[in-house]
Amino acid sequence: MRELLATVRGWSTLPVNAGARARWSVPWLERRSEDVRHALRGLRRSPGFTAAVVLTLGLGLGGNAALFGAIDRLMLRPFPYLRDASHVDRVYLRTAGWNDDRPYTLYPYTRYRDLARWSTSLAQTAAFTAATHGVGSGEGAREEMVFGVSGDFFALFDARPTSGRFITPSDDVVPTGSDVAVVSYAYWQSALGGRDAIGERLQVGDGSYTIVGIAPRDFAGVAEGRAPAVYVPITAYATHLGAGVGDPYYVGYSWDWVQMLVRRRPGVTRDAATADLTRAFERSWVASRVVHPSYASLDSARVRAIAGPIRTAIGPDPGLEARTLRWVAGVALAVLLIACANVANLFLARALGRRREVALRLALGVSRWRLAAQALTESLLLSLFGVGIGLVVARWTGAALQRLVLADAAPAGTSAGAVIDGRTLVAALVAAVGTAILTGVAPLLFVERTDPIGTLRAGEREMSYRRSPARAVLLLVQCALSVVLLVGAGLFVRSLAHVRALRLGYDLGPLLVARWERRGTPLDSLGEARVRADLAHAALARPEVTHVAWVTNPVFAPGTSTLSLAVPGVDSLRRRGRFTFQTVSGDYFATMGTRIVRGRALTEQDRVGAARVLVVSEAMARALWPGRDPLGRCVRIAWRASADTMPCTTVVGVAENALHDPVADHPMRYYVPDGQLDFRANTMLVRLRTDPDAAAGGVRRALQAALPGAAFVVVRPAQALMDAKRRSWLIGASLFVALGVLAVVVAATGLYGVVAYDVAQRGHELGVRAALGARSTDIVRVVVGQGVRLAAGGVACGTLLALAGSSRLQPLLFQQSARDVRVFGAVAGVLLVVAAAACARPALRAARTDPNIVLRAD
């Protein structure tokens, strides 16, 4: 064995015949490996250049990778396990005069059944609804996302249960359905300990369900936000919820709570499915007018159904947050372009410094293609190193993006950094290759245009300084894009300030929202009234609580309800808008902080058996009685019979408009006393003297102690519900500012590099100026003036670009002009100051240089 090893070692030291090497080697691969080794040696000899390029590219690629991961989750990525996703659509509805004529995705269960029954182009239909409820019993109970799904929901997926079975059509039978549940894999592991839980009873909201299946890992249905922990039949969900106002949920059309998914038949296009669903919607609308005669006629309603993308962020009417993220994605690309321009400038400066070396290699017979390949290899290596730094940056910023953009989009058990996965890595590598090509263009062009004979004949002094228009153009690009980014940041910051300063018609700051679930506790009307009184007493016993009130559906929460209305002397109510209502207790307006502008508020004396009264919003008063006094007016309200046959309910007060959404809202709202419409408010509002986040735990414990049996209460700050509506402006302001600052830093670094290089190359010229009597201030003025002029040109170009794009940005802003002179002026001033500061150091270094040393060196 030793002799064999020695023989092999001997072979490895034998000289290699050139012909044998040519036969056994791959020349192209060897040349590329030589290029890589050459590039690595060159980068190792220039650590400052290497660090600057890698860090600049890392910041640009990292920001883009993190944003791609977030946008991919919200808009691009298919839902796990969804079968034949290209043929599965979400059904959007559009009705004239409702929802500002925008498509909506929530509609009555009866409407869903009509669409499924009367459409012919669909192979499958499914319904679902989502809400948070208390899940579990005793100390282990916690608030979780619950999906009510139709029996065909799981048939849309290719998933197999980890254990047990899924919900089937036999479980989802009108009216009550079966009390069965499928739990998510994450909930099974975290709450049930991964044990065999099939057959166990699970308390979900007000109902008790038997666990019949466990979903596979990562299955989240079509949840776009928080992943569901439990799936139950939608009919059983509605039964336990006591769904709807008025008629049963499977008969009436007044409660919008269901969403619909469809799978098209083979060969059916999305347009054909839209036309088919629209015909079914028209039939459904005619049927709904039989139940609700006040609904507009078919011609006036102009109803339309749309088969659109499952993800609402790319649907027919993407929300403000989705549109803002698209802009932010463009901003991130702009930052990457700034980084590319900066790196290209550095490459060009390096190429100018190595022009004699390049000329000598060309004179010795090295081909231009080989030199270009080496330059491109060096650029590609630096881009790949930048990807490594960028992924670290993306991982580091992943937590911030998770909180800001994907607050509810990560399934349970995943980390914030999970926005960086295989898809994001591939995108980052593709971006790196594109960046390498962009940044490698400058040295490639330089190699192509180099004249070896002329360059070698020129002396060092003749070549000591040469202006580079390409470098000036790259710097102008950086400054211009920085202006665009900073203008966007300033506009979003001011827009966010306007949103926060907006008077919504209530004060959510010190407010808690408490929702209790009976969870099987039998209560008659007297027992329910007693529990509500106990809860109010328990809350008011806390020293930090000032007011308590009850409401059917808080104005700031999702979901609204309508009833049939008739107003004497006022025709065509439907054409005047959509009038939503709230049932409230006597202290509601004081608890909410909503002002009464005319008349009086509702009181505890406005109870069952007392005179029927209501309070209307200012918008409703203007719509129904323009220019007239609304107090004392008659409004007829019905939820089962025709409104025209109902007794008068008298208007006793006018409240300020309470906005559900800062941007698009329907503030035509009326308030009726709790109990006067034969149903009771189910949500308690608690006003505090202290911070709601700190007080929520203590209030919840006090309320839980007052509940009978297995009843469960969920308490959360009201501000959190409204913050979700403001998140689009927060996203725009935060990400625009972060990327704008990054762009300015990169641009300032690029400007500093350009000026510092020019100062080094102009050493002889500046030395002659000093020897001829130029003062230090004159030299500083020359150097700084050159940099500021370049920056000013970039500011001018960027201002024109920002003005050109202002019309597209305007819809994303709130009460803020996209051409605000103050924002543009501030951005221009900031960039010019930054430019002057970036030029100051090389200018001072040039002014302090002894001209004798420079002239002797030459």
Q: Model confidence at 99, in pLDDT bands (50, 70, 90)? A: low
Tell me which of 431 and 164 has the higher pLDDT: 164
- The DSSP secondary-structure symbol of 216 reads P
Q: Reduce the secondary structure of 52-81 to three states and give it as a string.
A: HHHHHHHHHHHHHHHHHHHHHHHHHCCCCC
**Is 831 part of a structural domain of the chain?**
no
Q: How many residues does the chain have?
A: 858
CA distances from 275 to 57, 303, 306, 366 (A): 49, 11, 8, 67
DSSP 533-580: HHHHHHHHTSTTEEEEEEESS-TTSS--B--EEEBTTB--GGGG---E
Q: Model confidence at 420, in pLDDT bands (50, 70, 90)? A: low
Q: Given this model, what pLDDT does residue 415 score?
A: 39
Asked if 280 and 324 sit in the same domain, the reply is: no
Q: Given this model, what pLDDT does residue 580 score?
A: 84
Stretch 464-475: mean pLDDT, rounded? Answer: 65
Q: Model confidence at 154, in pLDDT bands (50, 70, 90)? A: very high
Q: Given this model, what pLDDT does residue 659 score?
A: 82
CA distance linking residue 123 with residue 265, whole number of Å: 5
Q: Give the Cα-Cα-Cα angle 712, 551, 720 (nearest 5 degrees).
A: 70
Whether residue 5 is predicted with pLDDT greater than 60 in this model: the reply is no
Q: Given this model, what pLDDT does residue 560 score?
A: 62
Which domain does 199 fall in, by range?
Answer: 94-114+122-309
In this structure, the dihedral spanned by the alpha carbons of residues 595, 600, 601 and 605, taken in order and rounded to 10 degrees, is: 160
Q: Given this model, what pLDDT does residue 462 score?
A: 44
Q: Give the Cα-Cα-Cα angle 622, 627, 630 (nearest 5 degrees).
A: 60
Q: How far apart are the first and last CA of the chain?
A: 67
Residue 512: phi and psi, rounded to 5, are: -115, 150
Whether residue 252 is predicted with pLDDT greater than 60 in this model: the reply is yes
Whether residue 245 is predicted with pLDDT greater than 60 in this model: the reply is no
Q: Where are the beta strands (DSSP E) in 215-286?
A: 230-233, 259-264
Asked if 568 and 717 sit in the same domain, the reply is: yes
Pair 726, 496: CB distance under 8 Å: yes
Q: Reduce the secondary structure of 192-205 to three states and give it as a string.
A: CCCCCCCCCEEEEC
Asked if 687 and 597 sit in the same domain, the reply is: yes
Pair 607, 585: CB distance under 8 Å: no
Structurally, the chain folds into a number of domains equal to 3
Single out the residue in 261, 276, 309 at which a domain terminates: 309
CA distance linking residue 511 with residue 692, whole number of Å: 6
Stretch 414-424: mean pLDDT, rounded? Answer: 57
Single out the residue in 264, 285, 309 at which a domain terminates: 309
Q: Given this model, what pLDDT does residue 849 score?
A: 65
**In the block, residue with structure tokens 């505090």:** 688
Pair 57, 343: CB distance under 8 Å: yes
Task: Compute the chain's Rg from CA coordinates.
Answer: 35
Pair 657, 597: CB distance under 8 Å: no
Q: How many CA atoms lie within 13 A of 846 on its CB side?
A: 31
CA distance linking residue 342 with residue 344, whole number of Å: 5
Stretch 727-736: mean pLDDT, rounded? Answer: 73
Q: Given this model, what pLDDT does residue 427 score?
A: 78
Token representation of residue 554? 């808080």
- Give the three-state DSSP class for 265: coil
Single out the residue in 463, 497, 532 at which a domain terminates: 463
- 550-574 tens-digit pLDDT: 988 777 765 567 777 888 888 777 7
- The DSSP secondary-structure symbol of 297 reads P
**Is 554 part of a structural domain of the chain?**
yes
Q: Model confidence at 323, in pLDDT bands (50, 70, 90)? A: confident
CA distance linking residue 837 with residue 758, whole number of Å: 16
> For residue 216, how far is the Cα from the chain centroid?
27
Cα dihedral across residues 707, 712, 717, 721: positive or negative: negative
Q: Given this model, what pLDDT does residue 410 score?
A: 46
- Give the three-state DSSP class for 494: helix
**Is 783 part of a structural domain of the chain?**
no
Stretch 636-645: mean pLDDT, rounded? Answer: 73
Asked if 351 and 300 sit in the same domain, the reply is: no
Q: How many other CB atoms are there within 10 angstroms of residue 469's CB atom?
A: 7
Cα dihedral across residues 539, 544, 547, 553: positive or negative: negative
Asked if 240 and 354 sit in the same domain, the reply is: no
Whether residue 588 is predicted with pLDDT greater than 70 in this model: the reply is yes
CA distances from 451 to 115, 410, 454, 461, 610 (A): 74, 58, 6, 17, 100
- 768-796 tens-digit pLDDT: 666 666 677 777 777 777 778 888 888 89
Asked if 366 and 438 sit in the same domain, the reply is: yes
Q: Given this model, what pLDDT does residue 758 score?
A: 67
Q: Given this model, what pLDDT does residue 368 score?
A: 67
Whether residue 13 is predicted with pLDDT greater than 50 in this model: the reply is no
Lowest mean pLDDT among 150-154, 241-245, 707-711: 241-245
CA distance linking residue 448 with residue 444, whole number of Å: 6
Q: Model confidence at 414, in pLDDT bands (50, 70, 90)? A: very low
Tell me which of 394 and 214 has the higher pLDDT: 214
Q: Which among 662, 668, 858 has a CA at the least distance from the CA of 771?
A: 858
Tell me which of 583 and 350 has the higher pLDDT: 583
Scored b (16 or more CB within 10 A) or e, 618-629 reads bbbbbbbbeeee
Asked if 288 and 407 sit in the same domain, the reply is: no
Q: Given this model, what pLDDT does residue 150 score?
A: 96
**Is 24 part of a structural domain of the chain?**
no
Whether residue 411 is predicted with pLDDT greater than 50 in this model: the reply is no
Tell me which of 121 and 662 has the higher pLDDT: 121
Pair 731, 325: CB distance under 8 Å: yes
Pair 160, 147: CB distance under 8 Å: no
Lowest mean pLDDT among 254-268, 565-579, 719-733: 719-733
Pair 684, 625: CB distance under 8 Å: no
Q: Given this model, what pLDDT does residue 117 score?
A: 95
Q: Given this model, what pLDDT does residue 572 score?
A: 72
Stretch 187-199: mean pLDDT, rounded? Answer: 94
Asked if 37 and 140 sit in the same domain, the reply is: no
Helix axes of 821-848 and 776-804: crossing angle, nearest 10 degrees: 150
Whether residue 318 is predicted with pLDDT greater than 70 in this model: the reply is yes
Asked if 304 and 327 sit in the same domain, the reply is: no
Q: Label the pairing between strands 613-617 and 648-655.
A: parallel
Stretch 662-689: mean pLDDT, rounded? Answer: 80
Q: Given this model, what pLDDT does residue 151 score?
A: 95
**Is 789 part of a structural domain of the chain?**
no
Q: Reduce the secondary structure of 103-138 to three states and give it as a string.
A: CECCECHHHHHHHHHHCCCEEEEEEEEEEEEEECCH
**Is 381 part of a structural domain of the chain?**
yes
Lowest mean pLDDT among 3-17, 750-764, 833-847: 3-17
Q: What percent of the chain has pLDDT over 70?
A: 78
- The DSSP secondary-structure symbol of 255 reads B
Q: Given this model, what pLDDT does residue 446 score?
A: 57
Q: Given this model, what pLDDT does residue 8 score?
A: 38
Asked if 366 and 229 sit in the same domain, the reply is: no
**Is 70 part of a structural domain of the chain?**
yes
Whether residue 460 is predicted with pLDDT greater than 70 in this model: the reply is no
Whether residue 297 is predicted with pLDDT greater than 80 in this model: the reply is yes
Q: Model confidence at 464, in pLDDT bands (50, 70, 90)? A: very low
CA distances from 752 to 91, 475, 509 (A): 55, 10, 47
Token representation of residue 587? 């202290």
Q: How many CA atoms lie within 13 A of 748 on its CB side?
A: 17
Q: How many helices (H) and strands (E) does the chain have?
A: 25, 21
Q: Given this model, what pLDDT does residue 594 score?
A: 92
CA distance linking residue 254 with residue 111, whole number of Å: 10
Lowest mean pLDDT among 152-156, 184-188, 326-330, 765-769: 765-769
Pair 200, 181: CB distance under 8 Å: no
Tell me which of 178 and 254 has the higher pLDDT: 178
Stretch 343-367: mean pLDDT, rounded? Answer: 68
DSSP 771-834: HTT--HHHHHHHHHHHHHHHHHHHHHHHHHHHHHTHHHHGGG-SS--TT-HHHHHHHHHHHHHH
Asked if 446 and 545 sit in the same domain, the reply is: no
Token representation of residue 58? 């890392």
Tell me which of 611 and 459 has the higher pLDDT: 611
Asked if 215 and 357 sit in the same domain, the reply is: no
- The DSSP secondary-structure symbol of 86 reads G
Q: Given this model, what pLDDT does residue 354 score?
A: 65
Q: Given this model, what pLDDT does residue 153 score?
A: 97
**Is 729 part of a structural domain of the chain?**
no
Residue 457 makes CB contacts below 8 A (sequence gap 6+) with none
Whether residue 412 is predicted with pLDDT greater than 50 in this model: the reply is no
Q: Given this model, what pLDDT does residue 445 score?
A: 59
Q: Which among 504, 535, 493 has a CA at the least distance from the CA of 518?
A: 535
Residue 509 makes CB contacts below 8 A (sequence gap 6+) with 692, 719
Token representation of residue 477? 């690009």
- Mean per-residue pLDDT over the chain, rounded: 80
Q: Which among 17, 561, 106, 490 has a CA at the least distance from the CA of 312?
A: 106
CA distance linking residue 792 with residue 213, whole number of Å: 66
At CB < 8 A and 24+ separation, what contacts does 411-419 make? Answer: 411/186, 411/218, 411/220, 411/227, 412/184, 412/186, 412/187, 412/190, 412/227, 412/229, 413/186, 413/189, 413/190, 419/66, 419/69, 419/70, 419/73, 419/394
Q: Given this model, what pLDDT does residue 675 score?
A: 78
Most trustworthy range by pLDDT among 279-288, 318-327, 481-490, 715-724: 279-288
